[in-house]
Amino acid sequence: MLFKDLKNLVKETHLPLHEVILSYEMLESAEDPETLKNSLSSLLRAILEISERVYGKTFKTLTGLTGNNASKLSKNDHGLLSEFMRCAVITALSMSENNASMGKIVACPTAGACGIVPGVFYALKKIKGFDFDTLLKGFIVSGGIGEIIASKATISGAVGGCQAEIGTAAAMASAGLTYCLGGNIEAVEAAASISLKSLMGLVCDPVGGFVEVPCVKRNGTAVTVAITSSEIALSGIKSVIPFDEVVDAMKKVGKSLPETLKETALGGVAVTPTAKKILKRILGKLT
Ligand code: SF4
């Protein structure tokens, strides 16, 4: 699936974008419409329920390197973020720390990047009071963006670096948010493109191979990229480069990244002196 195909179909059929994506998915998966909609509904319901349950909590993670970021942020407010942004960041950190503590999450698109999409959808519900049906339409659009990236490029950090995980999640979140807020297909494309371009080149460098550092905080900061990109797109600002070409570029960047920067924990912050010291301590405790 290409974004330009979606654009053409919306133009030809006059159907809303989320319905075009659903029809596309039905053809691809051979699922009947009811089953497909039900499975997407249950995923979104799970995202909203888990977000509510873990919001701002403290977690006991495998390494102890993370686990209190969401709770610290929820107790401290320096007025730098809007209420919406703050809720999204706390949700993203909470979900990501929940993942690091082996809690239940919905991979969207992956476990490492599981906080960003929930960040925007939970904030839409909690702060803006959006109803489930509207959120579901946006969630379908988020899924469509993820599907395009997965089929054209990759959503795996081991294959394309963190841009493929966190970058994809930000593009999905931004597209869904823009759609929920009434953005047309051009705005959705701009939001997804700006998010992915903003995170292009991001390397995968988890300390010790544990999905905690820098992953948890990246979820928290990347959700702000998604929201900012949405605000930019909703203002009528276009992406100069079309989404399909941005995805192609991300794929090429991923291919040109060395293996040390693709989930091997052999590069980036994973090999800093502090990371090495911490790892020695953790491994000593685990053995
Ligand atoms: S750094 Fe690697 S493991 Fe961590 S979120 Fe990014 S892609 Fe996933």
| Site to substitute for ligand 1 among 155, 156, 218, 223, most atoms within 8 A of C-beta | 218
- At 26 the pLDDT is 87
C-beta of 220 in contact with ligand 1 (< 6 A): no
Q: Are the C-beta atoms of 59 and 67 separated by less than 8 Å?
A: yes
* 211, 217, 221, 225, best to mutate for ligand 1 pocket (most atoms within 8 Å of CB): 211
| pLDDT, position 32 | 83
Q: What is the pLDDT of residue 119?
A: 98
pLDDT at res. 286: 67
Residue with token string 């053809």:
27
Q: Contact, 165 vs 113, CB < 8 A?
A: yes
Task: Quote the CA–CA distance of 133 and 94 in Å, as a whole number.
Answer: 24
191: containing domain:
3-286
Q: Which atom of ligand 1 is nearest to the CA of 218?
A: 5
Probe target for ligand 1 pocket from 63, 99, 108, 204, with the most ligand atoms within 8 Å of CB: 204
Q: Is the CB of 112 under 6 A from ligand 1?
A: yes
* For the chain, percent of residues with pLDDT exceeding 70: 99
pLDDT of 31: 84
CB 17 within 8 A of CB 185: yes
Tell me the C-alpha to C-alpha distance, in Å, between residue 18 and each of 93, 108, 128, 232, 238: 28, 18, 21, 21, 21
Q: Which residues of the chain have pLDDT under 70?
A: 286-287
pTM across the whole model: 0.97
Ligand 1 atom 6: the closest Cα is on which residue? Answer: 162
First to last CA, the chain: 47
Q: Which residues contact 153 (CB under 8 A, 6 or more apart)?
A: 160, 164, 247, 248, 250, 251, 254
Q: Rounded to an integer, what distance in angstroms lies between the CA atom of residue 219 and that of residue 89?
A: 8
204 lines ligand 1 (CB under 6 A): yes
pLDDT attached to residue 56:
98
15 φψ region: left (φ > 0), alpha (ψ -120 to 50), beta (else): beta
DSSP summary character for residue 202: -
Instruction: Provide the pLDDT for residue 27.
Output: 85
Domain count, the chain: 1
- How high is the pLDDT of residue 285? 75
Alpha-carbon distance 113 to 160, whole Å? 14
* Å from CA of 276 to ligand 1 middle: 18
Query: CB count, 10 Å around CB of 243?
Result: 28
Q: Are 173 and 145 in contact (CB under 8 A)?
A: no
CB 126 within 8 A of CB 92: no
Distance 158 CA to ligand 1 centre (A): 8
Report the atom number in ligand 1 closest to the C-alpha of 219: 5
